[in-house]
């Protein structure tokens, strides 16, 4: 009974911290209480409303590991919160078998607060998970693109072999360091289908990737400088700052320009333009 009571209290607390927009649901009329409704959590987790209500009321049988996994995703739990959920329900915590693709509401808030700096979040396999509005001019609007197509490594190595960007030393260095970082991910998640599939695909489709992979370089991504030509604002020179999120093995990539520089002013103008577009 104690386990069921603790589980119920934890579910209610986490549900109360989320807003519909945090989980991709539309905002509706004003709510009498903060947080998601029970019906919304049940919908996101793929379980019946009655079953979920009984859990929050500390009634009914112990939930299965599959149900707990669905609830962890629906409530956007961190790694520590997910482990607590499993233990409280009397289950062993699951092993981490692949990159975590759940972005917490707190991290999304941090991401949005970085405006006017372009910023986006990638998982350990370089899939872009979330971005702020200032990043759209640089990475595109990915809202309608499948997750697998949001992968930065695919973007890099789908460029034609004769693309002039491969003649740029900085671009080649970035590609080399990306492959070295991907190899580190490959070792952290042995046998993971998404990571293994990405490597296998690129080995078969990109001779340049195959050459860099064969070099056996291993190095976790570090900060680097980047120059990007903009059709209206000229060449933008900035630092790509990489911020690790330890709980999820995710990273926030931020384009940083010093205040008062031409690139800093360009970022400010981009932010104003994207805000105006969002308001229309």
Least confident segment among 1-5, 112-116, 184-188? 1-5
Computed over every residue of the chain, the mean pLDDT equals 87
Q: What is the pLDDT of residue 29?
A: 64
Q: Report residue 231's pLDDT band, with 50, 70 and 90 as the boundaries.
A: confident
Cβ–Cβ < 8 Å for 178, 152: yes
For a pLDDT cut of 70, what percent of the chain falls above it? 95
Across 177-182, average pLDDT? 93
Outline where the chain has alpha helix (H).
2-17, 38-45, 49-56, 65-74, 79-88, 105-113, 136-139, 152-157, 169-188, 193-205, 207-214, 262-279
**Tokens of residue 34, six digits:** 């903060």
Please, how many CA atoms are within 13 Å of residue 136, restricted to the half-sphere of its CB? 16
3, 48 contact by CB (below 8 A): no
The residue-averaged pLDDT of 245-254 equals 90
8 pLDDT more than 90: yes
Tens digit of each residue's pLDDT (9 = 90 or more) over 35-94: 889 999 998 888 999 999 999 999 988 999 989 988 988 887 877 788 899 999 999 887
Report which of residues 42 and 188 the model is more confident about.
Answer: 42
Q: How many CB atoms neighbour CB 70 within 10 A?
A: 18
User: 247: Cβ–Cβ under 8 A, 6 or more apart, which residues?
Assistant: 78, 79, 80
Q: What pLDDT score was predicted for residue 279?
A: 47
CA distances 187 to 12, 94, 97, 176, 244, Å, are 37, 19, 11, 17, 18
- Helical ranges in 1-135 per DSSP H: 2-17, 38-45, 49-56, 65-74, 79-88, 105-113
Q: What is the pTM of this model?
A: 0.67
pLDDT of residue 276: 62
Supply the pLDDT for residue 49.
94
Please state which of the ranges 86-95, 108-117, 175-184, 234-243 shows the lowest mean pLDDT: 86-95
Stronger pLDDT, 279 or 168, i.e. the higher one: 168
Among residues 79, 77, 123, which one has the least CA distance to residue 101? 123
Q: What is the mean pLDDT of residues 197-206?
A: 92
The average pLDDT across 215-224 equals: 80
Specify whether the CB–CB gap between 19 and 105 falls below 8 A: yes
CA distance linking residue 224 with residue 43, whole number of Å: 42
145 DSSP assignment = S
The confidence score (pLDDT) of residue 268 equals 93
**Does position 220 have pLDDT exceeding 90, yes or no?**
no
């Amino acid at each position: 009974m104690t386990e069921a009571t603790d589980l119920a209290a934890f579910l209610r607390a986490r549900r109360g911290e989320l807003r519909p927009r945090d989980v991709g649901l539309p905002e509706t009329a004003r709510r009498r209480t903060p947080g998601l409704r029970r019906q919304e959590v049940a919908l996101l987790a793929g379980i019946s409303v009655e079953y979920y209500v009984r859990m929050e009321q500390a009634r009914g049988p112990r939930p299965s590991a599959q149900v707990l996994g669905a609830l962890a995703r629906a409530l956007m739990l961190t790694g520590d919160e997910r482990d607590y959920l499993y233990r409280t329900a009397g289950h062993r915590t699951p092993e981490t078998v692949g990159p975590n693709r759940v972005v917490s509401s707190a991290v999304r808030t941090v991401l949005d607060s970085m405006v006017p700096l372009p910023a986006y979040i990638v998982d350990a396999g370089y899939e872009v998970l979330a971005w702020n509005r200032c990043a759209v001019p640089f990475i595109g609007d990915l809202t309608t693109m499948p997750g697998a197509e949001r992968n930065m490594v695919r973007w890099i190595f789908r460029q034609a072999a004769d693309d002039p960007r491969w003649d740029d030393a900085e671009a080649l260095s970035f590609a080399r360091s990306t492959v070295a970082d991907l190899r580190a991910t490959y070792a952290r998640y042995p046998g993971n289908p998404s990571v293994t599939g990405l490597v296998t695909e690129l080995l078969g489709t990109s001779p340049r990737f195959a050459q860099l992979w064969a070099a056996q370089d291993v190095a976790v991504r570090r900060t680097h400088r980047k120059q990007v030509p903009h059709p209206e604002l000229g060449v933008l020179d900035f630092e790509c700052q990489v911020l690790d999120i330890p709980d999820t093995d995710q990273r926030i990539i931020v384009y940083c320009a010093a205040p008062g520089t031409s690139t800093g002013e360009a970022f400010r103008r981009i932010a104003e333009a994207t805000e105006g577009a969002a308001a229309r």
